[in-house]
Amino acid sequence: MRRARWLAAWRHSQSKPVIYHCLSRVVDKRFVIGPAQKERFRMLMRCYEKFSGCRVLSYCLMDNHFHLLLEVPPMPEGGLSDEELLTRLRALYTEAQVAEVAAEIQAARQLAAEAGGPNGAEAWLAARLAQIHERYTYRMHSLAEFMKGLLQRYTSWHNRTHERSGRLWEDRFKSVIVEDGVAARTIAAYIDLNPVRAGLVEDPADYRWSSYGEAIGGGPKGNGKTARAGLVRALRAHQGAPADAALWAGDVSREYRRLLMAGAVERSEERINEQGQRERRITRKGMPREAAAAASSSAGDGDIAHSKALRCRIRYFTDGVVLGSRGFVNEAFAHGRERFGPRRKDGARKLRGPASALAGAMWNMRDLRKGVIAT
């Protein structure tokens, strides 16, 4: 039986950010997402972003998996206007299909006007417009619907293009609730450093299919502007900053660059070879130590500590259910208290192993139960 997914208890709040780190892998971890496939996936991701009202803060598309740092704002109070609904529909539907919806809305308004009588006509019109809106809005401002729509549309295109059928992605996607501030900034950098840890590039700016690569290579307009706006939100949501690309230049871009460069240093270890001599072997490619050291020297102590963890793959970032400060994690635990036994006093646990450099600044909670019905 499938385990219930953890969702932020404050997901309907208009003031508290709701952010998730999402991960999905190809079945059997096959390397089937090439350059053309990545371009198609990114195009669909941006379309769903416009349609759903969700924000992609950071992302990275690899050959057999992808990462998203996704903010899921609640539906605006009062819902969407007719104009906003039609604008969002254009992100996924043809102009002919959008025109049909617009005609339905216009016909409803015309019938209400011809009926006369303010009370009955207004109530009927409101109910009719609500019916039209609900055909689409149930798929908006929802983590599950965003991921479901994106994965299904991409799978349909992939199977049709490669003349295959069946599943493409392993089981359900993973998701971790992430606190804005330190945790969101760290996860954003962790995601953008994926191609560096995989040895594909030395500098994360050189990887085309990531938020940082798109922010740098895409320039100040178009998709580059969208990527910059997402990273600004990832780094400054705790200060109330909007997803505004105009805030990227200056402190935000420099701070993020320092963090990425400090985390991009190559990893090596010293071994004894067959001749009994000591030799240093590179275990993970990245920037040369000299270049990384120069970049790291201008970072603060907190960035240095984070960079040590960012050089590793950390299970807490994908296998947990909540990540953030101790108070944040315990707040989520309190809302899901019934999921745990009576002996469990709190939810927050210290990060260990490669992530121990983050201990104290970030805490984690995992749900290890089995046989839980999904909700």
**Cα–Cα distance between 195 and 199 in angstroms, integer?**
6
End-to-end CA distance of the chain: 11
Q: What is the DSSP string of 36-48?
A: HHHHHHHHHHHHH
Q: Which two tokens stand for residue 373?
A: 């019905």
Q: What is the DSSP string of 285-308?
A: --B-HHHHHHHHTTS-HHHHHHHH
One domain for residues 26 and 162? yes
One domain for residues 227 and 125? no
Return the DSSP state at 259: H
Whether 110 is covered by a domain: the verdict is yes
Whether 98 is covered by a domain: the verdict is yes
Q: Give pLDDT, residue 342.
A: 84
Whether 258 is covered by a domain: the verdict is yes
**Cα–Cα distance between 329 and 345 in angstroms, integer?**
13
Q: Give pLDDT, residue 291.
A: 66
Q: Give pLDDT, residue 222.
A: 82
Interval 337-368: pLDDT, tens: 888 888 888 888 888 877 777 777 888 988 76
Whether 345 is covered by a domain: the verdict is yes
Which residue, of 103, 119, 137, is where some domain finishes? 137
355 and 309 in contact (C-beta within 8 Å)?
Answer: yes
One domain for residues 191 and 293? yes
One domain for residues 52 and 37? yes
One domain for residues 233 and 284? yes
Return the higher-pLDDT residue of 353 and 162: 162
**Domain total of the chain:** 2
Residue that is written with structure tokens 């929802």 in the block = 142
101 and 89 in contact (C-beta within 8 Å)?
Answer: yes
Residue range of the domain that includes 129 = 82-87+94-137
Strands 174-178 and 322-324: parallel
Whether 227 is covered by a domain: the verdict is yes
One domain for residues 261 and 284? yes
One domain for residues 232 and 101? no
pTM of the model: 0.88
Whether 347 is covered by a domain: the verdict is yes
CATH number, domain at 49?
3.30.70.1290
What mean pLDDT, rounded, does the chain reach?
A: 86
One domain for residues 227 and 120? no
